Amino acid sequence: MPLIIVPALTQVNTAMFAFTLLAGCAALVSVMLVWLHIFLKVIAILSAKALVRLELRRYGFSVVKLFWLLMTTSSAGLIVRWFISSAV
């Protein structure tokens, strides 16, 4: 006999469910609009990383070499940016 913690979907008030879903989507959209510059930077970084991985895999790099190459490059960029921001 299964233990049912959440009521069945047929027992949930559909108007309340729709309102909650709409409010949640509105909250998510508002957070994304407020932090749009952060979301755009994250999306750009992730897409650039994916493209670099695809290109380097095509040229025969192993997964381990790819990892260390990307780790070294990103760490060097982070250190350079840290030095630039601390010098200003």
Provide the residue type at 46 as one letter.
L
pLDDT, mean of residues 13-37: 88
Rounded Cα gap, residues 77 and 45, in angstroms: 12
pLDDT higher than 60, residue 1? no
Portion of the chain with pLDDT greater than 90, in percent: 48
Q: Pick the residue with more confidence: 10 or 28?
A: 28
Contact 45, 52 (CB under 8 A): no
The pTM of the full predicted model, rounded to 2 decimals, is 0.53
pLDDT higher than 80, residue 3? no
**Other beta carbons within 10 Å of 70:** 14
Q: Which residue has the tokens 């190459």?
A: 69
| The pLDDT of residue 76 | 94
| The pLDDT of residue 4 | 55
The token pair at 79 is 């250190």
